[in-house]
Amino acid sequence: MPSASYDSARQIYADLGVDVESALTRAGDLPISLHCWQGDDVGGFENLGAAASGGGIAAIGNYPGKARTPKELRQDIEQALALLPGAHRLNLHASYAETGGNSVERNALTPHHFQGWIDWCRAQKIGLDFNPTFFAHRLADDGWTLSHADPKIRQFWIEHGIACRKIGAEMGRQLGSPTVTNVWIPDGSKDIPADRKAPRERLEQSLDAIFKDAIEPALHLDAVESKLFGLGSESYVVGSHEFYLGYAITRQKIYCLDAGHFHPTESIADKVSSILQFVPRLLLHVSRGVRWDSDHVVILDDATRALMDELVRGNFLDRVHLGMDFFDASINRIAAWVIGARATRQAFLLALLQPNDRLRRLEREGDLTARLAVIEEAKTLPFHAVWTEFCQRHDVPSGLAWLDEVKRYENQVLSLRK
């Protein structure tokens, strides 16, 4: 039964023209794809017990209890999901293949190597998204993959991309929900390159080869992801924003905007309405950039709120896929999932609770004074009571009660991992 504080909050929002019950329903329907790589520091399971090459990816910290096997990682994700309200999916990298102890090259991966993940997602009643892994491999040690000058190495990665599209399609077929398979590569130069053109020409050709065969959209959707710079590609990134935006528009692919892949003072919220004029859909990786590092745990900050505001105000929810992308090994890894995903859901609910119809009307009437006044007034409305009600309806802890569950799990499970 709703609390008195919720009833009071609902009336206060109603006075501004906001239907709280409708907002609660919509807030739970948008799936957030949890990234598997937060649970094991982007290690993967191709070569259990072996150190992987970095390829521009690094998780900072050494908090005890990280997942060491697929079983442990799935167990940890289950614990996180139990503390998260709303719909979710799982976002999986190809390096999390289960090969049964056999050495399987990435260009030889098949759906069989991910059947354990598919079966687990079916049991959890969630969808599955996928990513080719163009890093942490001997053929990516120099930081180049799909734009590599060596045609043999380039062909290997093309074959990996093709294999991953087939795997993604099979995931979508078995789970009855289209898999978004997202291509991100680390290719670039630490220092000033002499030739910026040729690698981009090679990347365009490689992507065309990967995407050559059409796949039914009901099973699988293609996405491409840009980045401003990365470790080892500080001066030049082949797959820049401009490159992939042009590619996505001309090939009508999903374009992935990662909140941490742009300048720290640059918000991706303003890009949403512009890009969706020209591409069919967007994939949004919700992350948090701090100075040069792009993968901090998401919090309820202005950037996250602005992004969710834009999705709601632009009525873009049916054209957007939402996923988390960060990895922090300095804190409890399950807590990182929960903090990030709950903050994202809170930002979405807050966006739904804005008096958007009233704001649009004021804007049309040219009453910019009232528009600003209403925006500011909405910031102090009793959101906490609504969020608490939302959590209770989804049978997850509200407030900081979830942290007690994480600590219990840490004491009983994580602390036993050596």
CA distances from 367 to 2, 180, 314, 357, 372 (A): 36, 42, 20, 14, 9
Residue 157 near residue 194 (C-beta atoms within 8 A): no
Check if 293 is active-site: yes
Check if 170 is active-site: no
Active-site position among 88, 241, 261, 321: 261
Active-site position among 41, 325, 328, 389: 325
Check if 258 is active-site: yes
Check if 227 is active-site: yes
* Whole-angstrom distance, CA of residue 206 vs CA of residue 185: 12
Active-site position among 76, 98, 187, 295: 295
Short-list 84, 65, 38, 68, CA closest to 408: 65
Helix (H) or strand (E) holding 341, with range, is helix 333-352
SS3 258: strand
Short-list 136, 122, 154, CA closest to 93: 136
* Whole-angstrom distance, CA of residue 264 vs CA of residue 38: 22
* Whole-angstrom distance, CA of residue 362 vs CA of residue 378: 15
Short-list 265, 199, 205, 267, CA closest to 233: 199
Residue 107 near residue 50 (C-beta atoms within 8 A): no
Active-site position among 76, 170, 222, 258: 258
- Eight-state DSSP code of residue 45: S
Active-site position among 37, 120, 144, 184: 184
Check if 384 is active-site: no
Active-site position among 285, 310, 328, 410: 285
Active-site position among 227, 241, 253, 296: 227
Active-site position among 19, 72, 234, 293: 293
Check if 41 is active-site: no
Active-site position among 225, 309, 389, 410: 225
Check if 113 is active-site: no
Residue 24 near residue 322 (C-beta atoms within 8 A): no
Residue 373 near residue 359 (C-beta atoms within 8 A): no
**Catalytically annotated residues:** 184, 225, 227, 258, 261, 285, 293, 295, 325
